[in-house]
Amino acid sequence: MAHTGESRIRTIIVEDERKSLLTLETLLERYCPTVEVIGSARSVEEGVLTIQNLHPDLVFLDISMPDGDAFDLLNTLPNITFEIIFITAYNNFALKAFEFSALHYLLKPINYLDLKEAVARYQKINRDGDINKRLEVMRSNLSNQIDKISLPTSDGLIIVEIDRIIRIEASHNYSIFYLANKESIVVTRASNHFEHLLCDHHFVRIHNAHLINLRFVKKYIKGQGGFVLLTDETEIPVARARKMSFLGSLKHFTLGLESTS
């Protein structure tokens, strides 16, 4: 259910550190007037009971607690019908896992601007029961090398294996993903968001409107900028200003393939 206007967001905080809990309550009261804190908990066990008794819309959930972690809590619940904003001091890999899963998180110590942004994202998100899908991607990406990404669409969320993405085309504030099975997906995020996320997965921007996966490059055709022919027979222009950077990335990628063969 989306919250608009002065609708109250029934919220629970699960945080074992008393000072952090009180700080978050104060920040929410001061900067997020639509949020109503209806309860708090300082352990996994207490968190489960509080959530089951109060049925919140939103839970601020600390990743690490004395009697377990956030996923111990979530695994105990038979059905997750609320949205989650994780509170974490995790490393960069874990942060990327959050981003690939389209899950919200806040880094300690919590900054009020980040908090306002996280609550605003919660209010905008299309919540059609997709939280369980996003948690599944998060668990998978934390336990393995990141290999899946959650793509928000106008209908909800689609989970895609990263290695199946051939290219991404910018379309105003949207992105169009083209997959190896010839499927295309219109995603409600701008392409520059995915440029940041996918840079470690052999994706490069060759044009303001185009990100490509180097795994699917079939041929480079010379020119002022030139063109790239992909394995799906799509021909994509290379911007002249991006030509040298692209060719360097392509050379580095192919050398990497040779060294592993």
Single out the residue in 114, 142, 170 at which a domain terminates. Answer: 142
Q: Are residues 26 and 93 in the same domain?
A: yes
Q: Are residues 42 and 82 in the same domain?
A: yes
Residue 38 is predicted with a pLDDT of 98
- pLDDT bin (cut points 50, 70, 90) of residue 109 is confident
Q: Are residues 134 and 158 in the same domain?
A: no
Residue 184 is predicted with a pLDDT of 96
Residue 108 is predicted with a pLDDT of 85
- Beta-bridged to residue 62, according to DSSP, are 87
Q: Are residues 226 and 136 in the same domain?
A: no
- Residue 4, domain member (yes or no): no
Q: Are residues 138 and 31 in the same domain?
A: yes
Q: What is the CATH classification number for the domain harbouring 228?
A: 2.40.50.1020
How many domains is the chain partitioned into structurally? 2
- pLDDT bin (cut points 50, 70, 90) of residue 121 is confident
Q: Inform me whether the pLDDT recorded for 110 exceeds 70.
A: yes
Higher pLDDT, 180 or 144: 180
Q: What percent of the chain has pLDDT over 90?
A: 51
Q: Are residues 189 and 69 in the same domain?
A: no
Higher pLDDT, 201 or 175: 175
Q: Are residues 121 and 95 in the same domain?
A: yes
- For 95, the token pair is 């942060």
Q: Are residues 177 and 252 in the same domain?
A: yes
pLDDT digits (tens, 9 = 90+) for 153-182: 888 778 899 999 999 999 988 999 999 999
Average pLDDT, the chain: 86
Q: Residue 229 sits in which domain range?
A: 152-260
Q: Is 205 left (phi over 0), alpha (psi -120 to 50) or beta?
A: beta
Q: Inform me whether the pLDDT recorded for 29 exceeds 90.
A: yes
Single out the residue in 142, 163, 187 at which a domain terminates. Answer: 142
- Residue 126, domain member (yes or no): yes
Q: Are residues 197 and 117 in the same domain?
A: no
Lowest mean pLDDT among 36-45, 55-64, 150-159, 170-179: 150-159
Q: What is the CATH classification number for the domain harbouring 107?
A: 3.40.50.2300
pLDDT digits (tens, 9 = 90+) for 211-229: 999 999 999 999 888 999 9
- Residue 22, domain member (yes or no): yes
Q: Inform me whether the pLDDT recorded for 261 exceeds 90.
A: no
DSSP per-residue letters across the chain: ----TT--EEEEEE-S-HHHHHHHHHHHHHH-TTEEEEEEESSHHHHHHHHHHH--SEEEEESEETTEEHHHHHHHSS---SEEEEEE---HHHHHHHHHTT-EEEESSPPHHHHHHHHHHHHHS--SSTHHHHHHHHHHHHHSS--EEEEEETTEEEEEEGGGEEEEEEETTEEEEEETTS-EEEESS-HHHHHHHHGGGTEEEEETTEEEEGGGEEEEE-SSS-EEEETTS-EEEPPGGGHHHHHHHHHHHHHHHHHH-
